[in-house]
Chains A and B, each alone.
Chain A
């Protein structure tokens, strides 16, 4: 379970998150929605220790992580797929996956077979340079790379950005399957409503650095006025 209490964080003197609090239950897929500039990516980066929290607490299963370094946060079970994917373009697919295995050595890692079973394209192209992949394939690699470290929770920052719709759907279905099969918790920042409807159990709406509203996905399917209010769609 991820619990955030009174978190303030930002860039230099400018605070993007002010007294941000929320709770993400284990075994669920939670989507974080909101317009651009509302602090969603800042939140993801602060959870991962890439931006230092100015104040407040971030707890994973009761352990405070806001003072830990990024690699320590990763090793206690937080998988992260950053915005823009950030795969290592000069490395092969297998090397990209190997890096995550090396980073989590001695931990509860998954096997390559498991990853290849979920994403067969990575097995077919294991020796191909990752930079030659399409955007969608790179996204699959970035997700697989985070999963192979055996995370308890996966943070996904706009995974559908710049990816063709057919692959978006495929990624959504596969992630949903993986979450159900393994009990993995997912926190996904997403603007793509179809992706959220495919994958999420609950939706948190964020505005000006705080959570304004929370609802489960069924409620959103019945009534999409929240989407109009918080996303202007």
Chain B
């Protein structure tokens, strides 16, 4: 049993980070029909903010706090310069944001070099109960992720901003004719989605190697989570993230990472074939 608990905790922390990434993706896709291929790079830039903060002699905490601000601001620029011209045109958004993702990746290579970086763990200790031992930072990471996921749900289901956002998703024209500035809602939802990606990247930076390719490793499972869970209700992301992240991680430990990926794709294909709207439903009819 004591061997199983660390594995369950590892898998859970991966799932939680995946859900954070997928939540940002889903807000942007569900609301604006924008399939943001650069989401993985925004996640990666979040991690590099902590690398830069470490290089400047700042504590990791400062990097974690700076990352959503820096990446959110970058999101604001991307929205104003690129994304606002292609709202509700999913195919165009794929091409445009794919181009953006390449540019961002190269920008990071030019600035930080192609090699991988490591960020020092801010808390070194472990939680030890009898034979069971687990790094404290990972526990902190999980708690923070749960708070962030809960906070995002609260924002979109319990606040006035969330009410307006859901109205804009359901009927943009009607929301506008009630005086709601849909452009502004799109802009801030995009910024929230990108800031979440940046924050997720900063949080995982100390436990993975930070390199220019790291975004893809979360972008693809992130998209799969949405496909599997369903894009409509936010709860779909939780279920999708749990299925995709859980299977991927457990099989990677028990068999091999390749077998894990193959299994994840097969499960995704089966679910999409048998239940095209995702487990929790709500994907937009196209």
List chain A positions with a Cβ less than 8 A from chain B.
48-50, 69-71, 73-75, 80, 82, 86, 88, 90-91, 95, 98-100, 102-104, 107, 145-146, 149
Contact = CB atoms under 8 A, between A and B. Distances in A.
Interface in B147-188: 160, 163-164, 166-167, 170-171, 173-183
B176 to A, nearest CB: 4
Contacts of B164: 99, 102-103
A102 B162 CA distance: 12
A88 B180 contact: no
Contacts of B170: 88, 90
A18 B71 CA distance: 48
Nearest to B184: A71
Contacts of A71: 176-182
Number of chain B interface residues as a range: 10 to 19
A88 B177 CA distance: 13
Nearest to A45: B173
A103 B173 CA distance: 13
Nearest to B160: A102
A82 B177 contact: yes
A131 B175 CA distance: 17
A95 B177 contact: no
B230 to A, nearest CB: 15
Given A99-B163, A99-B167, A149 B174 contact: no
B174 A86 contact: yes
Given A50-B177, A70-B173, A91 B182 contact: no
Contacts of B181: 69, 71
11 contacts: A69-B183, A70-B176, A70-B182, A71-B178, A75-B179, A82-B173, A88-B166, A88-B174, A95-B163, A100-B179, A102-B180
Contact of A103 (B166, B171, B178, B183): B178
Of A49, A70, A90, A145, the most chain B CB neighbours within 10 A belong to A70
Interface string B171-212: 101111111111100000000000000000000000000000
Interface of B: 160, 163-164, 166-167, 170-171, 173-183
A91 B163 contact: yes
Contact of A104 (B171, B173, B179): B179
Nearest to A98: B163
B269 to A, nearest CB: 30
A138 to B, nearest CB: 13
A145 B167 contact: no
A74 B179 CA distance: 5
A74 B181 CA distance: 10
Nearest to B182: A71
> Sorted from nearest, which 10 A-B pairs have the closest CB atoms?
A103-B179, A70-B176, A74-B179, A103-B178, A103-B180, A80-B177, A86-B174, A100-B178, A104-B179, A71-B176
Given A71-B182, A98-B160, A102-B160, A91 B177 contact: no
A69 B185 CA distance: 14
B160 A48 contact: no
Nearest to B176: A70
Contacts of B180: 71, 99, 102-103
Nearest to B164: A102
B183 A74 contact: no
A146 B176 CA distance: 12
Contacts of B183: 69
Contact of A91 (B160, B167, B179): B167
B78 to A, nearest CB: 22
A103 B180 CA distance: 4
Contacts of A75: 179
B177 A48 contact: yes
A88 B164 CA distance: 11
A38 B182 CA distance: 30
A91 B157 CA distance: 11
A61 B171 CA distance: 29
A85 B164 CA distance: 18
Contact of A149 (B167, B178, B182): B178
Nearest to A73: B177
B174 A82 contact: yes
Contacts of A98: 160, 163
A145 B178 contact: yes
B163 A50 contact: no
A9 B114 CA distance: 55
Nearest to B170: A88
A95 B177 CA distance: 16
A103 to B, nearest CB: 3
A7 B176 CA distance: 22
A116 B179 CA distance: 21
A102 B175 CA distance: 10
